A and B are shown apart, each in its own frame.
Chain A
């Protein structure tokens, strides 16, 4: 069997109906990961039905034209398979891992779920109640409250990137069966599908089984919604969400940044690593956790997408330390934006990122995620082999330019969720 010691070598084919299929053989264990990604993320939700994609993901596997919800559950549960259906702004993904001996059967079930869901009324009502409970749980979670408030500050209510993935209690209550059926018909088609199969399966078998599972399916997707323009932040904004009974406050601090397709992606990636990833959490953790002992977690994450994704700094601190933490974040953000990184930081980060490429391929699941990303953004099948050179090419000036364009405390958006500090002073 193939080994990935010298990089990936996937088979990529386009099935006759237009679906893209990528198969990567590996020899880790007698298991296979299946991942079906559709261009059906929340971007395309109608404005008054925020959460539609997330809700569809809860109901899609609860019955098809030929299988009842129980039959699907039986087929997957019996084989130890938990089908995960997840969404982001652009993609809805059905993924699971099964034993190699179950691969054909499981692929057939998952393909049926993707192609032929019937969204039974009774299932819709049960999952609606669960979804509303989940939204209510989020309302009690300071981390989620702060993050969602920040997205709203950064993108505004009119932009799909600004909305909560699960929607609101009100929007979920509005979703009807027809909405799910229409969304499925518009977005779930062979030409909006990327199939990735990774594991103990021969590429030829993967191709044969996938061709069978998706045979006879021809449909054309409706045009995707354009990504609205994102206004550049011009001033500093801050919101506070009061949650008096919580022992700790959560801070979400961020900016809009670039698209994944932007030619300066690698400099931005390096810049974010230096700011809030390297080691325990880059410069931010060095200051706020290591020097000041203020937080267990503080880090930044950078999530570029088809549109300009956010760069978000997160920290959990004592309610009495919120202001001090924001001052420290301002200082690190300001310094990196103003002065750029040091030569040593660039060298260390570059070495780390290049060195960590083999770890990206440690599991079938992580390989599948990499291949989905590679395909979605059209990075090229040899992207893993080109990455070291792309990272080597990043200069100190590139990193400084990326930092300068994103990081400026005067343009930061900040959301804090937690108790008012006076009440919780220790």
Chain B
């Protein structure tokens, strides 16, 4: 992989991969919902939507079709630390894709009527997610677990902010954060590195350097007592969620935590773009054998994701029909207490590490996924981290896993969420 930085600060990472006649281009910005101020929650995600709505040199009507001409697919997403845009298309599209990303960085249109029309689209996106009680519970648990840190609000934003934000808020955010020094361009595929760099320089080199904005995130005070949230709504199924403060990606606890989660709920891998779409291998995982196999839960999932600052480790459970949330919580709490007290067996840790080794291979199965991983880790963890992941996981010991479980999964630093379904009142 070749890494180059243009004079204006744009970082470019290129990896040639000649297994298919495709190219994947991702443009990453080091800004996400973790950088938002109260009253403007959701602005990063809304700006992401606006950046598909035309630029000075790509009229609104031509946005649709420009990537499709090359058989390509395009998308974007926003999360805590990042906003990113991608296209994967036939390799002949390379120059067009770089042109699109350069336009997006510097020449977004933000037509007033488009801003308004997108407001209701995003509110529809929010409401659609709220149709799922499990997601609703996740939002409430996250907001309860944090007091001060902006990771507390959902990336999509709070509904009142979505109703009140203005076009100027969007443009202000766009101008401030969409600068070359805050961006990383990743190109992976059937390309020639020198050719990519020449073309990237031609498209992006003329964008003026602007100092990237300073990150200002309030620290989260240490949690000193259990927090609880109870949601009661019409529904059919009960859900339980437990969340603890997780280590940031650079924290030495991160990899032991990843292994701990794999042992508790099955290894997912670390690609948030692709790895979480199927069930992990979890039949021998501790919380599967103790909760699902015993008939208390119909499903269990765990999540610890690489983030710049400490986010959450969360365990989600779907209560089996007829099982009370209290009984499920008690069983889950007992099992976690057992792990905190006795650690995991050498076998469990070895299995978790073997799973992670395999998942790290599986999630690098396409130009799109490889490009995602390169960009994601560059933004969140910095250079070199991704390459060191497999050896880092291999070096984790059972003692380290026991230690993070004991220190980090205490009852008085957790947040517990219940979704208790109410019968349909006809």
Contacts and interface: CB of A to CB of B under 8 A. Distances in A.
Contact of A140 (B88, B190, B421, B425): B421
B201 to A, nearest CB: 27
Interface in A300-344: 316-318
B282 A129 contact: no
Contact of A279 (B68, B237, B284): B68
B49 to A, nearest CB: 10
Interface stretch (B15-23, B146-154, B173-181, B301-309): B15-23
A73 B284 contact: yes
B125 interface: yes
A5 B367 CA distance: 13
Contacts of A70: 284
B116 to A, nearest CB: 7
B358 A98 contact: yes
Given A99-B358, A248-B124, A292-B117, A73 B283 contact: yes
A5 B357 contact: no
Interface in B331-369: 351, 354-359, 361-362, 364-369
A2 to B, nearest CB: 10
B72 A356 contact: yes
Which residue, of B72, B233, B235, B356, has the highest number of chain A Cβ atoms within 10 A? B235
Given A126-B293, A280-B64, A293-B118, A245 B19 contact: no
A126 B356 CA distance: 28
B46 to A, nearest CB: 12
A227 interface: no
B68 A5 contact: no
A370 B316 CA distance: 34
A181 to B, nearest CB: 23
Contact of A141 (B132, B356, B368): B132
Contacts of A365: 365
Q: How large is the interface on A (under 10, 10 to 19, 20 to 34, 35 or more residues)?
A: 35 or more
B107 to A, nearest CB: 20
B212 interface: no
B390 interface: no
Interface in A138-158: 139-143
A286 interface: yes
B402 interface: no
B133 interface: yes
Contacts of B281: 76-77, 79-82
B266 to A, nearest CB: 8
Contact of B122 (A132, A294, A296, A354): A296
Interface string B375-419: 000000000000000000000000000000000000000000000
A358 B121 contact: no
Contacts of A358: 20-22, 71, 90
B368 A297 contact: no
A14 interface: no
A26 B19 contact: yes
A248 B127 contact: yes
A294 B120 contact: yes
A148 B367 CA distance: 36
A28 B128 contact: no
Contacts of A97: 362, 365
A159 interface: no
Given A77-B282, A97-B362, A355-B90, A286 B64 contact: yes
B285 interface: yes
For the complex, would chain A's binding face be called helix, strand, loop or mixed by DSSP majority? mixed
A137 B364 contact: no
Interface string B52-69: 000000000000110011
Interface in B83-112: 88-90
B283 A76 contact: yes
B73 interface: yes
B70 interface: yes
A286 B320 CA distance: 42
B280 interface: yes
A128 B244 CA distance: 32
A225 interface: no
Nearest to B280: A82
Contacts of B355: 77-80
A421 to B, nearest CB: 14
Interface in A67-91: 69-70, 72-74, 76-82, 84
Interface string A9-30: 0000000000000000011111
A279 B53 CA distance: 12
Contacts of A133: 237, 298, 318-321
A98 B357 CA distance: 11
Given A28-B19, A362-B367, A355 B124 contact: no
B68 A351 contact: yes
A4 B18 CA distance: 10
B7 interface: no
A293 B320 contact: no
A80 B120 contact: no
B132 A318 contact: no
A80 B354 contact: yes
Given A140-B421, A141-B132, A126 B364 contact: no
A3 interface: yes
B130 interface: yes
Contact of B117 (A76, A129, A290, A318): A290
A185 interface: no
Contacts of B295: 126, 129
B234 interface: yes
A316 B129 CA distance: 10
A352 B122 CA distance: 27
Contact of B124 (A78, A296, A357): A296
A372 interface: no
Contacts of B361: 29-31, 99
A130 interface: yes
Contacts of A354: 71
Nearest to B422: A245
A351 to B, nearest CB: 6
Contacts of A363: 365-366, 369
Which residue, of A133, A136, A139, A286, has the highest number of chain B Cβ atoms within 10 A? A133
Nearest to A2: B19
Nearest to A82: B281
Contacts of B68: 278-279, 348, 351-352, 355
27 contacts: A5-B21, A29-B364, A79-B355, A80-B354, A80-B362, A81-B281, A82-B266, A126-B293, A130-B299, A136-B237, A243-B234, A246-B131, A290-B117, A291-B117, A294-B121, A295-B124, A296-B121, A296-B122, A318-B120, A352-B69, A352-B71, A354-B71, A357-B71, A358-B20, A362-B22, A363-B365, A364-B365
Shortest beta-carbon contacts, A-B, top 3: A355-B71, A80-B358, A73-B283
Given A76-B283, A80-B357, A316-B124, 16 more contacts: A77-B266, A77-B282, A79-B354, A82-B278, A82-B281, A84-B278, A98-B358, A133-B318, A136-B321, A244-B234, A247-B130, A278-B68, A279-B65, A348-B69, A357-B71, A358-B20
